[in-house]
Every structure is written in C-alpha cells, then in structure tokens.
Amino acid sequence: MNIEKELHDAGGFLNLDLLAKQVVEGYISGMHKSPFHGFSAEFAEHKIYNTGESTRHIDWKLFAKTDKLYTRRYEEETNLRCHLIIDNSASMHYPAMKTQSLSSLNKIGFSVLASACIMHILKRQRDAVGMSIYSDEFEFYSPEKSSERHHHMLLDKLNDILKDKAKRKTTDTYTFLHQIAEKLKRRSLIFLFTDMFQADTDEEKLFEALRHLKYNRHEVILFHVIDEKRELDFNFENTPRRFTDVETGMEVDLYSDNIRENYKKAVEKYLGELKMQCAKYRIKYVEADINKNFDNIMTTYLLEKQKFG
C-alpha cells in the first residue's frame, strides 16, 4: 500500500489501523538505534522477566537475539487502562485541508492518527482503551475495553471525525472534562489532545477541570496540538491578509509583519503560564507540533506507561 494514498476522497483514512501499524513499527525499528533500545521488545509484545517468576512463558527465540530474558504478555496480565480524549472543536480543524497525508496533517488529523498509534500499541499489549470526544457538546464516550470489536469501533469513530467537515463549533473544554472525570471510575492513563483554545472561559476554570481529571489517581498527559509554523512563529507572507477566528467568525485585516513580534511575545507568555500550571498540578505537558512525526507521542506513552505501575 502506498503510504501517501491513505485517505479516502471523503476525508477519512483509507485504513487507519494499517497506517497506525506502519507508523508504530517504524518507531519500534528506530528504537534499536536510540537510548530506548532496551525497552523495544517489551514495548511490542513482551515484558522483562523478573527473577522468581515462572519460566514457562520466556521467549527463548528473543533471548537468542538479545541475550535478555523476556516473557510473552497474555490477556489475563492486562492491568493498564488508557482513556483518549479528543477536542473536536473548529479550531482543531486548522489549517483547512481538502485532503491530508502522513506528511501534511491538520490538528485534528494529527490527533486522530496519534490516537490510533497509541491504540495500536495498547492492542498489541492487550490493554484496555476508552475514548471521549467533545466540542461544544459531548459528542462521544466509550469506557475502557480491550476487545477486537471495541478497537474497530473506536477506529471507525476516529475516521468519522475526519469525514465530518469542520463546523463553527466553539470549545467547551472545562465543562466536558468535568463530565469525563465523573465517568472514569478506575485509575487510568489519560491522554488529552487539544489546542487549548478556550475563548470564553478563564484559564483557572480550565485548570480546575484538568485537576478534576487527576481525581482517583489518574495520570494526565496533555498533548498540546499546535501548528508551530503558523500559530507560534506567525509565519505568513507579509501581504494584506484577512484572519478569521474559526470558532467565532470574527475577522481582522492586517499585515503579518506588523504584529509578529508582539504576537510571539503574547504566545510565549501564554505557553509559559500553561507549562507552569501543568507542572504545579503534576500534569505532563507535551508539545505536539503537527509538522513533526509521531515519535514524541509514542516516546511519551512509553515513558508514562513505565511510571504508571
């Protein structure tokens, strides 16, 4: 399959599961050349053998290759529960695209594929995954399960997000994070994909909701999905442009060079405060630039899973 032809004309991924598998396997292959080499087998389908455990499930073929002892994972050993939360507001459909490819994704396309990659790893390790999707309404919720049928249902839902072209949906993050927190009864690893655009709510309410997510000892990872070139560096040609707020419809005409310096200062101040608040409440902040690959997403998953225990 040509990896650059992975999209339907309708806007969804032709085979999201296969594409996620290719991305994950490329990452695992690359781990052999990285500081995470020792984790690569466990990350795939195995766990490190601990002295005193039964030797019945040791993978001797893997031992011959690595000179390390690993045991195969089995469904009854599952103890990780993961919940994916995706912001599907209009700003997440920026920049507008007729088609998307692996090398050219908008924020929602990046979030969908990143989520599918995490799901693929969880599936290989037979761990349970659930999902919530919100915008100006609570669009979808599914509790954590590990069955094949459940996995395909979530993949279909992710594809539906891409097929549903962006409408002018405002973001009501704080309201729905509170609702999601109430639904998550058992300790989970929570990954939130959002651009943190919340025009009508002060930041304190947003952080109250993020703190609520940590209730019941959940671990929360905030993937701050951004288009660094445009949204952080304000890298536009210096010609008269009309900028439109995709959520409110407000418009302003300006030359990008005239405001770039002040814009970048304001953004840097906001990001600094955001990171400080995340550190204060022990929420893992990860910048997720849509112009980069998914290695940072999967490395974060790997490290957080190791700590979760």
The β-bridge partners of 138 are 134
Confidence bin at 116 (pLDDT 50/70/90): very high
pLDDT digits (tens, 9 = 90+) for 234-293: 555 555 554 444 444 555 545 455 566 776 787 788 888 889 989 998 999 999 999 999
Residue 4 — pLDDT band, cuts 50, 70, 90? very low
Phi-psi bin for 280: left (phi > 0), alpha (psi -120 to 50), beta? alpha
- Is the pLDDT confidence value at 231 over 90? no
> What pTM, to 2 d.p., does this model score?
0.77
Residue 288 has a pLDDT of 95
Cα 105 to Cα 290: distance, rounded to the nearest angstrom: 6
Type of residue at 98: K
The full length of the chain comes to 309
- Could you tell me the pLDDT band of residue 233, with boundaries at 50, 70 and 90? low
The rounded mean pLDDT for the chain is 79
Mean pLDDT score, 86-93: 90
Lowest mean pLDDT among 63-67, 118-122, 205-209, 254-258: 254-258
Cβ-count burial of 118 within 10 angstroms (0-12 exposed, 13-18 middle, 19+ buried)?
A: buried
For residues 197-211, give the mean pLDDT: 75
More confident residue, 228 or 110: 110
CB atoms within 10 A of CB 134: 24
* 147 Cβ neighbours under 8 A, 6+ residues apart: none
Q: Which residue has the higher pLDDT, 98 or 187?
A: 187
Least confident of 59-73, 202-216, 266-280: 59-73
- Indicate the pLDDT class of residue 40, thresholds 50, 70 and 90: very low
The answer to whether residue 294 scores a pLDDT higher than 90 is yes
What lies within 8 Å, CB to CB, of 109 at 6+ separation is 97, 100, 162, 290
| 36 CB burial (10 A radius; 0-12, 13-18, 19+) | middle
pLDDT-derived band of residue 305, with 50, 70 and 90 as boundaries? confident
Helices (H) and strands (E) in the chain, counts: 9, 10
Instruction: Give the per-residue pLDDT at 228.
Output: 84
Query: pLDDT band for position 49 (50/70/90)?
Result: confident
What's the pLDDT at 245? 47
**Residue 33: pLDDT band with limits 50, 70, 90:** low
Residue 206's pLDDT is: 83
Q: What's the confidence (pLDDT) of residue 223?
A: 97
The residue with tokens 């032809």 is: 5
Which range has the worst mean pLDDT, 16-20, 71-75, 168-172?
Answer: 71-75
Contact between 251 and 187 under an 8 Å Cβ cutoff? The reply is no
pLDDT digits (tens, 9 = 90+) for 130-180: 999 998 889 999 999 999 999 999 999 999 998 776 565 667 788 899 999
> What is the C-alpha to C-alpha distance for residues 20 and 70, in angstroms, rounded to an integer?
25
Q: Which of the pair, 298 or 228, is modelled with greater confidence?
A: 298
CA-to-CA distance for 75 and 127, rounded, in angstroms? 8
Tokens matching residue 287? 């910048």
Predicted pLDDT at 296: 94
